[in-house]
Amino acid sequence: MIHDLSHELATPPHRDERTRQEFVASLRRHVLVDMAAHMQKRYASHVLPKFETAQGRQPEDGEEVHDAMMHEPYFCFYSAVRYNAQEMVFQSVIPVIDRNMEDLNQKAQSIRESNTHVEGTLTLNPKLEIPRSVTNIDVHLAPGSYHTQYQENDSSAGAIYDNSINVFAFNQMGRNTDDIGHSFSNYVKVAFPDFKPERILDCGCTIGHNTVPWAMTYPDAEVTGIDIAPGLLRYGSARAKSMGAKVNFSQMNATALDYPDNSFDVVFSSMFLHELPQKDIRAYMKEAFRVLKPGGLFLTMELPPNNKMAAYDSFYLDWDCYYNKEPYYKPFRDQDYLELVTTAGFNGDSFQETIMPRYTYMPADEFTAQVQAGPAFDDRTGRMSSDIRWYGFGVWK
């Protein structure tokens, strides 16, 4: 069963719509857990021996594994089912949002305007140019991607994102698909107990599902989320207010932040860098360095780098780059993350990587113990499954 989103903007499906979403979530679980496990066995028993016989060695990286797997019928079958399951996520969600669009937009506006007891602003910039790297791609196979507006004052893109991720993640990303935000904010609280951030910036925040947890973990801090998509921000602002979270939302390109130097104690992002061309990744990191206060923390939740992964695991994680309309996914993972932050101006001596369990899936003391044990790469790192572990890297200014 998928979670029922526990906020006022939740858009309940009819019974048949709910059944369809449950089926798609179950199919995704089957593909990413059962079929993925079988595919790895096929690789070990059939593909790898053939490669070793032909080449006299094992594959050196994920690209060589991918080239070898292209001739494996089960990989083709797996990819076809996974691709279609991804399309089915949106086919199961978008009709529900379309049917409820008028009510949704009115409710979102009403929450933003009436919940004046909950602090938090929404600032939109209709003159902001949406980058071609966004407008030219239906990222995640989402029709129209997430920047498209279908009517005035539209929040539907946010609702589509919220509900599709809920189906997509088959209960693996938290009650409100917010476990990443809870995990990383509490990681900082556990790992750096004397660090008391006053201003926190979440870049590429989409609907603020991983921004709100920072406001919960550090309730005295001023928390801001930015994104380029107005519909996501309208929805995100209403969503945060409905949850009683004090968050500011602003429409802004993270490669050109409209903030003065030395403005924030934390600059955070989650699942953001792999959506950017390399030039924009570097521009964003330079901006992050500029707006961070001395002693501030740059922290990123992302996919682990290929240079730290076994060849098969790199191949598996890079599937989205080839088949899920995420062309920047693998080029980002091919980068040296330490080199990225040092080029942006950070001192590499404070660079750190972390691999953590999911905060909302375990007792707080167990989470603390695993964080204190330190990072350890394995095939659970960044891989969507029932025991996924999040990867991140960061550096101090």
CATH number at residue 252: 3.40.50.150
User: Predicted confidence band at 387 (pLDDT cuts at 50, 70, 90)?
Assistant: confident
Which residue in the block uniquely carries the two structure tokens 């009517």? 151
> Checking phi first, is residue 56 left (phi over 0); if not, alpha (psi -120 to 50) or beta?
left
pLDDT digits over 245-268, tens only? 999 999 999 999 999 999 999 999
Instruction: Name the token pair of 388.
Output: 């996924």
Q: Is 213 helix (H, G, I), strand (E, B) or coil?
A: helix
Give the closest residue to 227 by CA, choosing from 321, 136, 108, 128: 128
pLDDT digits over 286-343, tens only? 999 999 999 999 999 999 999 999 999 999 999 999 999 999 999 999 999 999 999 9
What are the distances in angstroms from CA 343 to CA 253, 259, 346, 370?
A: 20, 21, 7, 31
Domain that holds residue 42: 1-397
Structural contact between residues 332 and 393, judged by C-beta atoms closer than 8 angstroms: no
Q: Is 266 helix (H, G, I), strand (E, B) or coil?
A: strand
Q: Is 117 helix (H, G, I), strand (E, B) or coil?
A: coil
CA angle 77, 81, 82 (to 5 degrees): 115
Predicted pLDDT of residue 62: 97
Query: In this prediction, what percent of the chain has a pLDDT beyond 70?
Result: 100
Kindly give the residue spans of alpha helices, DSSP state H, lying in the chain: 15-29, 36-42, 48-55, 62-69, 73-99, 101-114, 132-135, 156-168, 179-191, 212-217, 230-242, 278-291, 311-317, 319-323, 329-333, 337-343, 364-373
Predicted pLDDT of residue 125: 97
pLDDT digits over 80-119, tens only? 999 999 999 999 999 999 999 999 999 999 999 988 888 9
First to last CA, the chain: 43
The dihedral through the CA atoms of 345, 349, 353, 359 has a sign that is negative
What type of residue sits at position 52?
A: E
What are the distances in angstroms from CA 278 to CA 28, 140, 204, 304, 327?
A: 30, 19, 16, 16, 11
Structural contact between residues 203 and 267, judged by C-beta atoms closer than 8 angstroms: yes
Residue 1 has pLDDT above 80, yes or no: no
Taking each helix axis as running N to C, give the angle between helix 156-168 and helix 73-99, from 0 to 180 degrees, rounded to the nearest 10: 140
Predicted pLDDT of residue 373: 86
Return phi, psi of residue 301, to 5°.
Answer: -90, 125
Q: DSSP character for 305?
A: P
Predicted pLDDT of residue 368: 93
Spatial distance between the Cα atoms of 330 and 334, rounded to a whole number of angstroms: 6
Give 164-180 as a DSSP string.
HHHHHTTT-S-TTS-HH
Predicted pLDDT of residue 377: 78
CB neighbour list of residue 100: distance below 8 Å, 6 or more residues apart: 11, 159
Number of compact structural domains in the chain: 1
pLDDT digits over 132-167, tens only? 999 999 999 999 999 999 999 999 999 999 999 999
Q: Is 393 helix (H, G, I), strand (E, B) or coil?
A: strand
